[in-house]
Amino acid sequence: MAVVDHAPRLPLFDTLDFEQFHSDELPRRLAEGNGALAASIGAGALVKSFAWRLTDGRSVTYVVGDGEVEVRPGDDAELVVEVSEQNWSNYVAELWTWVGLLYSEAAEMVRGDFGLFEDFEPVLLAMYHGRPLYEGWEPTVDLSRSFTLDDDHEEMSRYLNEAGFLHIRGVFSAEEIDTLRAEVERQRGEATPDDHRSWWAINADGEEVCCRVTHMDDRSDLMLSLIGDRRLDAIGALGGDDFAAYPERGDGVSVVIKLPSIVEGMADLPWHRDCGTGGHSITCPTVSIGIQLDECSEANGQLHYLAGSSDSSSRSRHVRDDWPTVAINASPGDVTVHYGHTMHGAPPPTAAPKSGGRRTIYVGYHKPIWAEFIPPGQGYNDILFKDGGRILSPEEFQEQNS
């Protein structure tokens, strides 16, 4: 696969110089503690050496040692990734992840594969940014607790910062939920697999079904009215006073539809972070607000959160049984809230709900840098559209393009 350099240009980020970064900046970061942190994380990695090879031939290798990471010239490593200098710089700035490089066809695996890249990425994040690896968390709050909007907002903000998620009961009335459901169904009925505003999957009967609709606010005054809703603004402000909704960017006001018996496509998202393709330095922290239109339970693929994971990295998309995961039981009109960097997922429904799927409307609240960097009408998830509305998993995409 040829390396493609169609990464975004960086109005707010200077392009790093490959030699200067590795001769001056990275050694400084490693000496200040990132090296020891990365080495401890690297002790559990599947490979102990990683190399960047630029398309112009320059290269550097990182070797995990005892208590340190050594930086060497050349590409004598177990895992070698080739990128342009621009895409390398974007990766260091966290504008791409390994997933983003994969889907944007911006990297070539010279030695090793993307699975090894995923496994080694926490070492890189520790080297570059001092980010720790999530290895469990001792709860500091009652993880079974839920709130109402009448509760103390400072306490709710502290809970969100510590646990990485919230469940707020009874935010929307039954009448409001009925109206929102009707608009969701109207837009779902009008969606097509090639509109680039919806995601599609295949169920066990071989039917192509819509599992997500984005930018619903473009086609509905009702959905647009959620922007500026005083209740959602108050919830968004739990992340900070400068958080605001920018519906013309990213996915806008969107709906995720959990359907039973999906056999192909990304309807059942595994454990992930919302910045999983890239943009952490732009998008995080994001306060993601989910308006529940149906019962949220095990039967219809309820939300799960990995408590305390909003400031760390993860070795893979797998979560250990002894880690503090929380399954949310919510009712129509309730709201779920999470930081975009919090690990979360929703397994397949265990039973088919009569409504035809669990539906959740999402509105994101971001810091101003989101609007400064992301152009209107664009978002990081755009790179996932490779085959109409059929969003392939990383494994499916790699197999299709190998």
pLDDT tens-digit map of 151-167? 999 999 999 999 999 99
Residue 268 is predicted with a pLDDT of: 84
**CA-CA-CA-CA torsion sign (109, 111, 116, 117):** negative
Least confident of 10-19, 73-82, 142-151, 272-281: 10-19
Location of structure tokens 């066990």: 204
Higher-confidence residue: 168 or 95?
Answer: 168
The residues, ordered by sequence, that sit 6+ positions from 224 with a Cβ below 8 Å of its Cβ are: 217, 247, 253
Question: Can you read off the two tokens belonging to residue 329?
Answer: 């039981």
Confidence (pTM): 0.91
Q: How many CB atoms lie within 10 A of CB 375?
A: 11
The Cα 325–Cα 165 span in angstroms is 11
Q: What is the pLDDT of residue 1?
A: 34
The superfamily (CATH) of domain 18-129 is SCP2 sterol-binding domain (3.30.1050.10)
How high is the pLDDT of residue 316?
77
**At residue 10, does pLDDT exceed 60?**
no
Residue spans per domain, the chain: 18-129, 153-400
Domain at 153-400: CATH code: 2.60.120.620
- pLDDT in the model for residue 3: 37
Nearest to 272 by CA among 217, 314, 330, 324: 314
Query: pLDDT value at position 37?
Result: 98
pLDDT on residue 175 = 98
Q: Which residues of 266-300 are buried (b: 16+ CB within 10 A; e: fewer)?
A: bbbbebbbbbbbbbbbbbbbbbbbbbbbbbbbeeb
Question: Which pLDDT score, from 0 to 100, does residue 7 have?
Answer: 40
Nearest CA-CA partner of 157 in 48, 273, 241: 241
Q: What is the mean pLDDT of residues 262-271?
A: 85
